[in-house]
Amino acid sequence: MLIVPGVLFHQPGPHVDLLRAAGFEIRYPRRPEMSTEAETIEALDGIDATIAGSEPYNERVLAAAPRLRVVSRAGVGVDRIDLDAVTRHGVVVAITPAGNHEAVAEHTMAMLLSLARSLVSQNRSVRQGQWSRVPLAPLRGKTLGLVGLGRIGRSVAVRAAAFRMNLLACEQAPDVEFSRRHAIELVDLDALLARADFVSLHVPLTDETRGLVNRATLARMKPGSYLVNTARGGLVVESDLLAALESGHLAGAGLDVFAVEPTPADNPLLRLENVLVTPHMGGVDTQSNEDMAIQSAGNIVDLVTGRWPDGCVVNAAVKQVWSQRRRLVALAEVMS
């Protein structure tokens, strides 16, 4: 059993107790947050299941790890997992949908407030001996456009409503009752971009959403609006965002994620005063870490003890193969 995420690196906790009680020997990679294919292949030698971080699971990795049966993500993103490949290899991929959505929502609101109230620049200017009291932008009465209304988007919506923001959302399969109850107007992407003072991204990174925010979509955003991305860096074409910020078309951006992570120190977005950045910390706080660790460990224990963790398995097509394998293992144990 391999535990990869850096926040869980050699950390005791209920997740470790749960796995050891199920009979697993706990191992860790050579270093926390391994990310390369070579490191992943080395660490998976003799491993049956992983609590996964951001390491890749592709055809080459899976071919080198024949014992691997479960990849349980401490989180919800699966953009570094080749779902076709893991399904072909009979590997179950599980996520922790209830683990960090509130943490991401809190981080999103922190970015919205910081951008609107110019907190970073005000803090710096006061420390430099300045005392500039220029009126700032409110959140109340402004329009927030949520691109994606899943667990995270809905969590942001209820928090933004408490600040008396007007809410728009673009979602392929919306919860209509939730939207009605919280006065969220469901619109298409073009309408959202044209009307929102703040646009916040809450969709997964897929072939369809990669580069969703590009020169064309940025041009359709309301002049003087803000972009916040706490989802995945690949949703945004960074060079196009840079141009929109430098031209003044956008007033600012809050970025917790980048196309390449860690983002290089020479990323030109980091030079801009109107860009607020954090190191992919949106879903990371002490409570969410514990919740994700427990749920990811629980997914593994459920699977090896014959329970299917409904709502957590991403590649449900592997269920039949998994059930057949379990029956064969049980038969072999009886015959032995």
Amino acid present at 254: G
Is residue 236 within 8 A of residue 213, CB to CB? The reply is: yes
Q: What whole-number distance in Å separates Cα of residue 195 and Cα of residue 149?
A: 17
Q: What whole-number distance in Å separates Cα of residue 127 and Cα of residue 23?
A: 55
Amino acid present at 171: E
pTM: 0.86
Q: Which residues pair with 147 in a beta bridge?
A: 170, 201
| CA distances, 124 to each of 33, 110, 230, 269 (Å) | 32, 18, 24, 19
Residue position matching structure tokens 């064969």:
328
Question: Hey, is 99 helix, strand or coil?
Answer: coil
Question: Tell me, what's the pLDDT at 35?
Answer: 81
Three-point CA angle 190, 161, 248, nearest 5°: 45
Q: In what order do the strands lie in the sheet with 92-94?
A: 2-3, 49-52, 70-73, 92-94
Question: Tell me, what's the pLDDT at 34?
Answer: 83
Domain annotation for the chain: domains and CATH numbers? 2-99+285-335 (3.40.50.720), 101-277 (3.40.50.720)
Stretches where the chain sits below pLDDT 70 are: 324-336
DSSP 232-287: -GGGB-HHHHHHHHHTTSEEEEEES--SSSSPPTT-GGGG-TTEEE-SS-TT-SHH
Question: Tell me, what's the pLDDT at 324?
Answer: 64
Structure tokens at 63: 């071919």
Question: Tell me, what's the pLDDT at 325?
Answer: 62
> Annotated catalytic sites, by residue?
232, 261, 280
Question: Tell me, what's the pLDDT at 115?
Answer: 97
| CA distances, 188 to each of 146, 147, 168, 185 (Å) | 11, 9, 9, 10
Q: What whole-number distance in Å separates Cα of residue 222 and Cα of residue 298?
A: 45
Question: Tell me, what's the pLDDT at 266?
Answer: 97
